[in-house]
Structure 1
């Protein structure tokens, strides 16, 4: 695991199916996520061990079997597994060809779940929930892209909301509160004031006095666009003006709040339909 958003990747020994074992791990700049871990294992079996974090696991190929509190569990394709902190568990492949998994380790103190959910997670660690799995998968896709931390934080808030609903069903009704126009307007004004420097989701929630998931949902309902998309659109709009002024794409990326030039190019092309360099040459 590498601090500061770095990534490590390595290939291990070749498994029985002739496919090398692969590992990629990093710590994103997203509050509440202590580690992202992607792996393909063919032979490795985890001994009994514990984490001081919540372990949120999805399997993309194969299946995993594990013991938690002396009860056997499994993760067939489509299942979301949530293993609570400080509870011993093991893990091994449930198929001859191993498994490919994506894991989020969530801070037990500052993440979306607190200790009050541990008992419910021990009782029902495997959740068959297509919506939850899709949200987790989209969060993983976002976490591999440096510079999209606001989107990742928003997606994590929605994942946390769904987990709390599943672990405590009575929370589902509370989470279905209608959109709050006041919250949406306040967040838009905050984003407008911080186009370049940006804002963390947790800070924004504190400033507009709303839960992060409720804030994201209210903004989308009010404006038909997610907060991170709104912010990136504002940055792209500013980048267009600077490019037409003759400034280089690399300089424009830094001036508009993008992580780097490739981050600018990805969002600029999605919004404008052409890379920033080609756009500038058409002046």
Structure 2
């Protein structure tokens, strides 16, 4: 790898995301090339200059840059310090080919809320075993980008409250094994984005956070029953003990071990 260049790329277990790329570039320019996917670009440090569909553009750190599939583009750091970027490559079907022309005309989206959402999705994608959170965040990002490019997703009228409660019941029924957003949408016959919005509106948190909360609640009860943390982790639906500990501390402020350190035995010695 050339000096000053660092790259991390992986394919997450999230339907719709082909690849995630985090890169630090110094002294490297991309020649004209194309992708068969939609590209969502965040520049965290520096600025990139690029040509797209016979137009010249810049991608500073405040924008979310949406590059459409099949349209040639290049990329060059515009400052001597290079650039640091994060990229999502999304399946073409997520945004649809009908929006390619609009994205080619206006690839840069100046929207702090959207940028925060994409940043949080990247964070979720770096954490193990947070697929439902990533799927939920992706669904809302796709909806937001569609709206900014001129087409909102098809919304099903009414039924939001009932749908939210049905999803809550499903999450409780599947608290240990979990459920993907795609599976939930298919089981409940709902659009994934509509499902996330209805649930969040009804319960004040997105489905992935609700599921984690339910798992932490179950883990707490199992710990108080005297079961060891490594056993509780899998019994409550977490991948392993570190996965349990991270979420347990986030929700309750202490580790599982500290939580049960003062646990009193309920057994009584007979006289």
Output the TM-score relative to the length of structure 1.
Answer: 0.88
Q: 1:166 aligns with which of 125, 137, 148?
A: 148
1:279 to partner: Cα distance? 1.9
Kindly indicate which of the two structures has a greater share of residues assigned to strand: 1
2:35, 2:71 within 8 Å by CA — same for their partners in 1? yes
- 1:6 matched to which residue of 2? none
1:161, 1:175 within 8 Å by CA — same for their partners in 2? no
Larger displacement relative to structure 2 (143-152 or 122-131): 122-131
Task: Find the residue that maps to 2:50 and give its secondary structure.
Answer: strand
- 1:53 matched to which residue of 2? 37
Given the alignment of the two structures, is residue 233 of structure 1 paired with residue 213 of structure 2, yes or no? yes
1:236 to partner: Cα distance? 0.8
1:85, 1:108 within 8 Å by CA — same for their partners in 2? yes
Structure 1 residue runs of 5 or longer lacking an equivalent are 1-11, 15-19
1:179, 1:222 within 8 Å by CA — same for their partners in 2? no
- 2:171 matched to which residue of 1? 191
Given the alignment of the two structures, is residue 33 of structure 1 paired with residue 17 of structure 2, yes or no? yes
Whole-Å Cα distance in 1 between the matches of residues 157 and 204 of structure 2? 17
1:177 to partner: Cα distance? 7.2
Structure of higher CA gyration radius: 2
Larger displacement relative to structure 2 (146-155 or 208-217): 208-217
1:223 to partner: Cα distance? 1.2
CA deviations over 1:75-104 (Å, ceiling 9, x no partner): 012111111111111111011111110000
1:53 to partner: Cα distance? 1.1
Whole-Å Cα distance in 2 between the matches of residues 97 and 225 of structure 1? 40
Dislocated runs of 4+, deviation >6 Å: 174-179
Count of aligned positions: 263
Whole-Å Cα distance in 2 between the matches of residues 264 and 282 of structure 1? 19
Output the TM-score relative to the length of structure 2.
Answer: 0.92
1:179, 1:214 within 8 Å by CA — same for their partners in 2? no
1:158 to partner: Cα distance? 0.5
